[in-house]
Structure 1
């Protein structure tokens, strides 16, 4: 739905402006190592067992990280509701390889797969500036 996509992008832009830029959003969501630099941020979807999650893919000199655009409701053992963001952090040193893939029936649907040294794989789709993001990812992993 086009209007839903536009709304999401506007709320994303508003959040980035409110916090003071993508670098500050990255620092707010994740712990940063000394000397770590943010290289690239891309809007995308992370494939999960319960469906794709919209969010940001951050590529830094130390890690690849994903944070969902919206918070999710979870409940504590005592029944209290919490709102949390879905986050994934993969240290560059733990990445075995990154792969490009596309849907054979629908070649415009491209994916980025990240495989870790312990054989977990993460699939990102709908990546804005796909080729540029993949290039940054490859460079970051090769320099780790």
Structure 2
């Protein structure tokens, strides 16, 4: 529990230091011309080594996640490196979004993003799950509308 609190305080301090969530998004991920950040949500990304706390960014062009804290990895030459865990999914590569819930604890909601190449990403622990899901659906449907208009 104390590690989670430390992570949240660290994230809050970082957001204030950089000048807002939008600036953090632009620093962490390349942003295309005309792309706008729609929403940023604190949540967890499910990984094979357990959930990782971070921010899920929903923009008009992508869904991106960056961990609150850095993780330790080994480089090819054997050195230890600390990096933030990042995921970037272009909106046009999203095949669908599914809602799930814990059978034993229905208040625990999960969001699964499935890509066109059959990768799936599970997000959980949202402060406001309904809003996050709504903004994600809007970003995906808006992108589809934009694509249909250009053809």
TM-score range, shorter chain: over 0.9
Deviation at 1:104, TM superposition (A): 1.2
Q: Deviations over 1:88-108 (max 9, x none)?
A: 000000101111110111011
The separation in 1 between residues aligned to 2:87 and 2:5, in whole angstroms, is: 25
In terms of mean alpha carbon deviation, does 77-86 or 16-25 score higher?
77-86
Tell me, in whole angstroms, the C-alpha distance in 2 between the residues paired with 1:39 and 1:67.
Answer: 16
Q: Which runs of 4+ in 1 moved over 4 A?
A: none
Q: Give, in whole Å, the separation in 2 of the partners of 1:107 and 1:136.
A: 22
Superposition RMSD in Å: 1.0
Question: What TM-score, normalized by structure 1, do the two folds share?
Answer: 0.95
Unaligned runs of 5+ in 1: none
For residues 46-103 of structure 1, give each alpha carbon's deviation from its aligned partner in whole angstroms, at most 9, with x where no partner exists: 0001110111100000000000111111222222222111110000001011111101
Aligned to 2:123: 124
Match of 1:28 in 2: 27
Unmatched runs of 5 consecutive residues or more in structure 2: 144-151
- Residue 5 of structure 1: how far off its partner (Å): 3.1
Aligned ranges 1:50-129 → 2 under 5 Å: 50-129=49-128
SS of alignment partner, residue 89 of structure 1: strand
Q: In 1, Cα distance between the equivalents of 2:52 and 2:12?
A: 18
